[in-house]
Amino acid sequence: MAQPEMALDVVVDDQAEAKIIVPDEQTLERAVVDPEVIRRIELPQSKKRSITVVDPESRTRSGVVGTQEKALTRAPLKETVDQKRYERGITREPVVRSRSLAIQLPATPEERMAQLPKLDPKVAQRALIQPNAALQRQLVAEERMIQAATKFKVAASIQRSRSGQMVIEIGSDALNPTSFSEAVLQQGRIALENGVQCDEVAAQRSNTNPLVAMECVIQDLKASGEFEYVEKDWLYEHQMIRLPGGEETPSLITPNDPLFDLQWHYKSQGTGDGESAGGAGFVDFWNEQESQGSSDVVVAVVDTGLQMDHPDIQSSVNVVAGWDMVSDLDVANDGNGRDADPNDPGDICPEAGVLSNTYHGTHVAGIIGAAATNNADGVAGGAWNVKVVPVRALGKCGGKLSDINDAIRWAAGTIPEFNELGEEVWNENPADIINLSLGLFKTCPASMQDAINSVTSQGVVVVVAAGNKSVPTEFFAPAGCQNVVTVAGGDARGFLAPYSNYGSAVDVLAPGGDLTRDDDGDGNPDGVLSTKTAENCADPLTGEAVSTCYYAYEQGTSMASPHVAAALALIKSKRPDMTSDQLVSTLLAGTRSIPENQCTGLCAQFPGAVPTLDDPDMCLRPCGSGLLNLADVTLGD
């Protein structure tokens, strides 16, 4: 690690409210004339999670570890430095003391309850009040994590949230601006493959390899026995697929030319005019049940956010206040971290081969009902009148597990976030249903399962995409998690799409689309058509090149999951008395059974699978209880 230029040994990024470790009084005296220090401590206070940072190498250099050092939050530190600058005559203005200098004991649960603002009954019912004992445990855990970072001589930032979740970032850019070269990373991978001897790592004078450090910190924290689980903060991706080298095929918005006829996925199941073999029967529900949804029902979309300036979004009354939960500035791609703006700024990620913005969350939310429907413009949504809460947890190149976990809880109304003034901001429209069109090629992380359990225990239904790796869902998250409704992707024929994951954990097959097919012969790809802005695209209605499109065909289990979320919202609208379990069982009871030959795949793709009776090269791929079909849903009285 390079010798820090600043007088203060530990610094933070522009978004963090942190404890700043000051080795000794002499260092603090030097700090008052360092302009870089002044800039750092005058940064705005964070509206996000509490963050503690530590640079053990610089602490060791100071030679006063744990004895004379002072730990100050930014506000008191700023006031201390300002006071010293005033005393030296550097500034003429005396210090105005802030409330942050006052020491206040954590409130008891009863006191916290009394201090809570008036909340909507559903919000208040789900609100997670953090007891004093839980807060104290977090503080103890935070100190244990600092010890682990110090032990293995790595810079780290530690974040804790109201959910009890804690994150330690190794080799934080906020602390160490030196970028790790590919050669260094490769050395770390080799060390991991050969087995890391963490005692030897701890004995070294320095440790600049982030992979080795991370593994050792994880092992150390697990061995302490003080944590329920310790796992890597994996980066999740959305579950939408692009054709290799293919172009987007969005359709152009035309004010008096509704595009519903191109949305085969909402149509009645069948082969007649106006029907589709792979349709989900939304048309039948709208007419037979005489309902297109209710504003009393809320669906949260945890995704990349929404294009708030999209013509069909900005005119929609269905979209209500959401939140941007992305904490990493590089991932956020909007110049800031967590805040009240869930707008999608784009997610171009050349490192992952994403060369154009996906606006994934806008497409997903449009399928559910975020787009204004039945307004003679654009496309229709599945549930016209429900509320949609956008919660941004994915950004450039994906989204962190820790952000997704907090997004799930905030969407359900069980934890608050914080505004610029540090005030609690609760979701005023707690979700009845949460859609997660995202995934990771790993088994379900314990922290994600914990987040899911915490909201399903409050009656929330969590609907998830099965994933697009053509593998069993047990190897995928959140599709392989418990207490979720897992949705596989089907094509316009009602067959399992070749990209879709499958397995015993899949609950239902729903329209996901297949851009390589045109089974209805309308000259358009059989993708799912929904809201999304694109530039320099082709209008599939005319085949002409146009400068701007507002709707696009896409494919993936990301598209299948929101069909089920919308279907559940419709059922909830008609039967608000149903519990979450009753909603799901009612939906699954109305699915159409799927012939064996409609859920198959090449045996060579997954050795050991069971071949079909008709073709030994094709193997069975379980894809749920049946194909989503709202026409056969029975609601009773």
Catalytic residue positions, numbered:
303, 360, 558
Are 426 and 440 contacting, i.e. CB atoms less than 8 angstroms apart? Answer: no
- To the nearest 10 degrees (0 to 180), the angle between helices 360-368 and 557-574 is 30
d(CA 531, CA 533): 7
Measured CA to CA, the distance from residue 432 to residue 430 in angstroms comes to 7
Three-state SS string over 431-457 comes to CCEEEECEEECCCCCHHHHHHHHHHHC
Residue 39 parent element (H or E): helix 35-41
- Is the peptide bond preceding residue 478 cis, with omega within 30 degrees of 0? yes
Which of 314-347 are b and which e, b meaning 16 or more Cβ less than 10 Å from the residue's Cβ? Answer: eebebbeebbbbbbbbebbbbeebbbeebbbbbb
* Residues in CB range of 396: below 8 A, 6 or more apart: 330, 331, 332, 333, 346, 347, 348, 349
**Is the four-CA dihedral 41, 46, 52, 56 of positive or negative sign?**
negative
- 3-class DSSP assignment, residue 52: strand
Q: Is 525 within 8 Å of 541 (Cβ atoms)?
A: no
Is 236 within 8 Å of 394 (Cβ atoms)? yes
Tokens encoding 93: 């203005």
List b or e across 591-604, with b for residues whose CB sees 16 or more CB atoms inside 10 angstroms.
Answer: bbebeeebbbbebe
Pairing outcome for strands 298-303 and 433-436: parallel
Q: Read off the DSSP letter of residue 54.
A: E
Report whether 196 contacts 212 (CB < 8 A). Answer: yes
> What tokens were used for 555?
């494919």
- Of 370, 391, 388, the closest CA to residue 531 belongs to 370
Q: What is the DSSP letter of 390?
A: E
Tell me which residue has tokens 């503080």: 139
Instruction: Round to whole Å and give the CA distance between 53 and 149.
Output: 10
Distance between CA atoms of 250 and 310, rounded to whole angstroms?
A: 14
Cβ within 8 Å of residue 526, ≥6 positions away? 264, 491, 492, 513, 514, 515, 517, 518, 519, 520
- Whether 460 and 434 have beta carbons less than 8 Å apart is answered as yes
- How far apart, in whole angstroms, are the C-alpha atoms of residue 84 and residue 87? 5
SS3 328: coil
Rounded CA separation 329/315 (Å): 30
